[in-house]
A and B are shown apart, each in its own frame.
Chain A
């Protein structure tokens, strides 16, 4: 079992390494992708600087908490897109019969597929998140918690994406549902939860679990709360298991295709 996990990690590492090697073939594009993403995210922060010059508090968040929220949002998005990019295109993989190559290999199908590509600009997101986190207030304890939360958040976002994209096993146009889901997760993650009320707030802690992946971490990093910390970890594990169950249930309905394809 342990050996199996070790071998799986080795394959995922090689896959990641080869993707980075591919992206680095064009050095200029690689560097500009990373830098432009940092720049793009920085412009978003400017809006908040303007807003906080007019107000001290938005939705119960101080400016430093908003910076922390942005650091988490960017980190969560970056981790998910850097390491699990293909989960966001899983629908296309399923519909075009591209799962075949992974099924015939003696490795975890879902993990092999979703780690088979990377989003270079997501490196910019991760770097940006670390810079903004440092600005929001750096201590070792806060940083360790931050790293844990961008990992669990990345896994939560990936799991939700896998669940939505796996609907393609049942419906042809599930990619549209998945795209909407991903956009909602990303958009809501950059606003303080205090501005949302009623049903929206309930949705943010259930169907669109930004509350778990982003809002709870802001609270725990600001003021440590063991219960909220455990909720984040438990929900993360639950969603990973649920995404696996849904993907593998759907896999039984996989019909493959005879479309020509290449691994690029």
Chain B
């Protein structure tokens, strides 16, 4: 069942062009010049109930603008959006009861209040009766292990604990869809892992559909089964994680520790990434040469140790960004 449908979505911004210096400032007062930036250009996609979607792209690609249009913050110039059958531009209040939002860069919690009081405030915002909120907070306290800091003022929490509380606060009204805009920004690996576990749990326990933007490949790889890539305001890829890896993983990385030096300079389908004499790192293009063939070239008797791995997802995504520019 489709719960998000975005069709031919476009949004432009008028940006003032200012020449440098005081002279430029004076010129821009007398004769202001503007340029039109196509932040989002004819983007279409849909999301099924219960999916965890990675919505990614380089900085300035149009991710946040798209999310903001889906959450009623911005009005689209063209195209239409249906979230649970509602139009974000027209049904803001109704939609707000059905979705949750967490912007990693913008805090919504009151910093002088404890997470507990904040959760109660959020309960009031979503018209949830007092007792039901308390029950919900208790449920979250156990499920998301909030014991250590639920009664500490938010200003005294670590960044990771704050983000966890931001996410939990956005779940108080049991949203059907949760929009997470870079929730792991600035967090250490352990906290990132905790946040990922939390996201997985809420998807599993509450069947919440997750719409996630992140620059962290770990988030994408560990959480999402589907990836939508946007660049320069245009959709460049909408595929499952499996397909992404399958289609873009024509390269294998072979790292070998050798007894004797080997020269692979002119071999077809092999790119030497690092050659430190007895330690060799090569990339094998499997469309031109099999991995077994590459190993034969190295001579198995000559190999002390070998490691064969996929190209990191980070590199694949960077390549997609670059190729579609």
Contacts and interface: CB of A to CB of B under 8 A. Distances in A.
Real binding pair: yes
B125 A107 contact: yes
Given A7-B127, A11-B125, A106-B97, A100 B73 contact: yes
A261 B106 contact: yes
B96 A100 contact: no
A261 B106 CA distance: 5
**Most chain B beta carbons < 10 A, residue from A7, A25, A105:** A105
A106 B91 CA distance: 10
Interface residues of B, number: 31
Contacts, number: 78
B179 to A, nearest CB: 9
B284 to A, nearest CB: 41
Contacts of B64: 258
A10 B73 contact: no
A263 interface: yes
Interface stretch (B107-115, B193-201, B253-261): B107-115
A18 B126 contact: no
A21 B112 contact: yes
Contacts of A263: 107-111
Contacts of A255: 13, 74
B295 interface: no
Contacts of A15: 121
Interface string A90-116: 000000011111011111000000000
B238 interface: no
Contacts of A103: 71-73, 92
A100 B106 contact: yes
Nearest to A98: B106
Interface residues on A, range: 20 to 34
Given A103-B92, A106-B96, A106-B97, A18 B71 contact: no
A260 interface: yes
A22 interface: yes
B110 A104 contact: no
A255 B92 CA distance: 16
A99 B75 CA distance: 14
B92 A258 contact: no
B105 A25 contact: no
A43 B309 CA distance: 79
Contacts of A262: 106-107, 111
Interface string B285-316: 00000000000000000000000000000000
A107 B127 CA distance: 10
Interface string B80-101: 0000000000001110110101
B149 interface: no
Contacts of B73: 99-100, 103-104, 254, 256
A155 to B, nearest CB: 23
A104 B111 contact: no
Contacts of B93: 106-107
Interface in A1-54: 3, 7, 10-11, 14-15, 18, 21-22, 25
A264 interface: yes
B215 interface: no
A3 B108 CA distance: 25
Given A21-B112, A100-B73, A14 B92 contact: no
Nearest 9 CB-CB pairs, A to B? Answer: A106-B96, A262-B107, A22-B112, A106-B93, A104-B101, A260-B105, A7-B127, A101-B108, A103-B73
6 contacts: A18-B110, A21-B113, A97-B106, A107-B125, A260-B106, A263-B111
Interface of A: 3, 7, 10-11, 14-15, 18, 21-22, 25, 97-101, 103-107, 252, 254-256, 258-264
